Amino acid sequence: MARVLVMIPSGEVYDHDSVRWYNYQQIQRYIDHYHNIGDAFVYDSSLKLMNFEKLGVVEIANPDMAQIDKLREEYDYVFLRGSNYIHSGMQWRETIEVLKRLRLPVLGFGLGAQAPVKGKINLSEQTKTVLHMMADSTTSIGVRGAYTAQVLWDIGIRNVRIVGCPTAFRSNNPDMRITLPELDTVKDVGITLRREVSSSYAQNIERYLTFHRDLVKELAHRFDNVTLMAQGEPEEKKLVFGTDAQKEEAIAALKGNPSVGKWYMDDEMERLYRSKMFYSDVVSDYENLVRQKDCVLGYRLHGNLMALSNGVPSIYFTYDSRTVEFAETYQIPSYDVFSKKEFVLEDYWNQDLFDKFNRAWFQTYREMATFLTENNIDHKMVDVMARDAQPERKVA
């Protein structure tokens, strides 16, 4: 089995391939720190697909070059945890110097590009160089969808394979399918929250927040039990883990935010935030939660994908190029937050729509397995083409 380095990890690893946030038990020490636990979902899921005997980290900020030389002798390859790296503001620190010194294959494992609301994506020369170095070091570079593939094609990178995101395949069951229950039997629903948003990527903040608010309230009225699933914002963390004083501080901060207080945090949302909020710094806690749900839907890309990977129906609400790209790659039923069309859940609770997802998910599973194989990565995914080509055994 391989000896693997990770570049830009997101959390600490325990039990070989499970991830939780750093010093997760010291919640008070880091309660004011924002981190997106969705990044830890991707890291955890990546590890669950690979076979490895040793895992290390290569530092790209203030690296010790003597240590880099040592890593070159002790490890077989590097993988870059899939995330939204390809955008105009990405800072790679000393990555170019590190990779030149390291001289190991660098696996791009589900990388994504983010398009601005206005104009074309504008990549720095540093970003272009890093991407070319990665592509040149491996048979292929794995991206999350067609938009990212086009961005790489436009800068001269041709060896691209669309693999989606490792989170989709974390259960590693190639026969996973979404089968919808009758909607009137759905009782327990998870709602993934993304309150914070950038005007650089979401075209209308007022619409984004007011629709988000109304969706949460509508679902809370409709279903017997809802859980609001936060993913790292300090105010939401304080409402789960904070002292009484910190909880009041969080509500005051939300109401005092010019946009959130005006378009999002009304009295009913405050009540729901106080009584229905869930947050954890441990990836497995989210997985255990979604497995108990009849449905998970909302604004969080990886929170929704965690549900789908466990066979739980989910509907995406798209608001930027990133969420659109995921929905397109997997053909996930999705609603454009900025459309003028009314959202009606029944329109999306349609097995024909989820059968499109089932097919796309299976095809992308096959692409991910092929991607790992062609890059000589020891992995746990099933070669579904070889498996399905085997003749049926006759029972004597």
Q: What is the SS3 assignment for 140?
A: coil
Report pLDDT digits (tens) over 7-38.
Answer: 999 999 999 999 999 999 999 999 999 999 99
Residue type, 383: D
Position 177 scores a pLDDT of 97
- Cα gap 161→367, rounded to integer Å: 7
Domains located in the chain, CATH noted: 2-173+361-386 (3.40.50), 183-351 (3.40.50)
Position 393 scores a pLDDT of 55
Q: Would you tell me how many other CB atoms lie within 10 Å of the CB of residue 109?
A: 29
Strands (E), the chain: 2-7, 12-14, 18-20, 52-58, 77-81, 106-111, 141-143, 160-162, 188-192, 225-229, 277-278, 295-298, 314-318, 334-336
Which residues, 6 or more positions from 72, have their beta carbon under 8 angstroms from its beta carbon?
101, 102, 103, 104
- Residue 317, pLDDT > 90, answer yes
First-to-final CA distance of the chain: 38
- Residue 394, pLDDT > 60, answer no
Report pLDDT digits (tens) over 208-259.
Answer: 999 999 999 999 999 999 999 999 999 999 999 999 999 999 999 999 999 9
